[in-house]
Amino acid sequence: MTLSRPITQAAGALRDKFREVRATSLALAAPLSAEDQCIQSMPDASPTKWHLAHTTWFFETVLLQPHAKGYQPFDPRFHYLFNSYYEALGPRHPRPHRGLLTRPSVDEVHAYRRHVDEAVIGLLEEEGERGEGGLDWAAIEPIVTLGLNHEQQHQELLLTDILHALSCNPLLPAYKPASGPALRLAAVPPAVRWLSRPGGLVEVGHAGADFSFDNETPRHQALVQPYAIADRLVNCGDYAQFIADGGYQRAELWLSDGWAAVQANGWRHPAYWLAPDDPRLGFGLQPQQHHQQQHASPQGAAAGWHVFGLNGVRPMEADAPVAQLSFYEAAAYAEWAGARLPTEFEWEAACDAPGIAQMTGHVWQWTRSSYDPYPGFRPMPGIAAEYNGKFMVGQLVLRGGSVATPAGHTRPSYRNFFPPAARWQFSGLRLAKDL
């Protein structure tokens, strides 16, 4: 019986965490209308409502159905509708058609969430009471934890995806009117400082008993050469100079696929920047989007640009990190700046470098590392085997974490990944150099 208490405490803590994470998802959707939550602006993005339902489906399918005796699914058809990409779990609604699901409604999805939440909390409490007799704790705890980390990933996607959807509306409506300066940074010195880092064997990857994704493991040694890394992110002012210097017109700065993307898509600036002559500047701005600027207006290359973000359209702030960049743009910028992107191991090894700033909480940082498996990598067992490993080709690693990442979700060893042309994420860059 004495053993029952720690388990009960653990169950209680997990239950509280569960409630908190689940509530956060709803809070993120709260500023959005039912219409906002329904649409899908491109096949790579998903509707808000779909995120709310899919994260629920994950708990229902991976936790409740195998582990909660007598659990009754909310609606068996949701198994088909809200599977994302798990081949082992059978056929599913095609990804590009997620925006056509006006039914179930947002209200029904909310009811679905409540149904599943109650069952999960019931399971956790029952398990908690049972104490050491709770034979399933060892199975349940990792699934709930995975489900919560999974939901946090979708919280960020919910924001990036709705921002993309709103960016397709010529009115450029704000996700949430700004109540003050948004995305503002602690003042940083304008000049980059280069931090020298020694070469040698470094330990990378996740170790220890706390949660990580499988792609961060096993922890292992990696060899790096001596290098320097910038103490801060590339900011909008920096990037505006790249544009002003013809960055988008100079083939020699670009990777071949990147230059092809520039030509094919007519890229001239980051995805959500509005050039000074953009017709929507006269057209689409709602009064609440004209936030009182307390910063001096940007000068020179930075003048006249605006940036669309979660708070709507705002004058570009020169010292805000540049975001919504593809890897191709990040790499071209680095080439133009006479530098390069850090590898993911250089980035990880610099995490605790004295003087380094903006390592997380602003933008994900493209690295010069392809998303390959770590030596000895093994996917998670069971259905989660499809979680990370099967995407390990054709993508690049991003490190750090963004303003849209839930607090506490990331780690220095955390590996985010996207294809090189993706530019609707909160993705930017930090420079590095050989020494």
Residues that bind its own copies (CB under 8 A): 33-39, 41, 49, 77, 80-81, 85, 87-88, 93, 97, 99-106, 165-166, 168-171, 173, 201, 220-225, 251-252, 254-259, 283-284, 327-328, 331, 368-373, 375-376, 385-386, 390-394, 396, 420, 434
Q: Report residue 308: phi and psi, to 5°.
A: -90, 135
Residue 334 burial (CB < 10 Å; 0-12/13-18/19+)?
buried
Distance CA 364, CA 324 (A): 10
Shorter beta-carbon distance to its own copies: residue 137 or 366 = 366
Shorter beta-carbon distance to its own copies: residue 276 or 375 = 375
Smallest distance, its own copies to C-beta of residue 316, A: 23
Shorter beta-carbon distance to its own copies: residue 70 or 94 = 94
| Cβ-based neighbour number of residue 3 at 10 Å | 10
Shorter beta-carbon distance to its own copies: residue 186 or 264 = 264
Shorter beta-carbon distance to its own copies: residue 57 or 137 = 57
Smallest distance, its own copies to C-beta of residue 424, A: 14
Instruction: Spell 173-183 as b/e; 16+ CB within 10 A means b.
Output: bbbebbeebbb
Shorter beta-carbon distance to its own copies: residue 266 or 354 = 266
**DSSP for 172-203, written as a single string:** ---SS--SS--S------SS--EEEE--EEEE
Q: What is the 3-state secondary structure (H, E, C) of 362-424?
A: ECEEEEEEECCCCCCCCCCCHHHHHCCHHHCCCCEEEECCECCCCCCCCCCCCCEEECCCCCC
Smallest distance, its own copies to C-beta of residue 61, A: 17
Looking at residue 316, what DSSP letter applies? -
Smallest distance, its own copies to C-beta of residue 123, A: 28
Question: Whose structure tokens read 């590339």?
Answer: 234
Best CA proximity match to 309, nearest among 242, 357, 268, 363 = 363
Smallest distance, its own copies to C-beta of residue 14, A: 30
Smallest distance, its own copies to C-beta of residue 44, A: 13
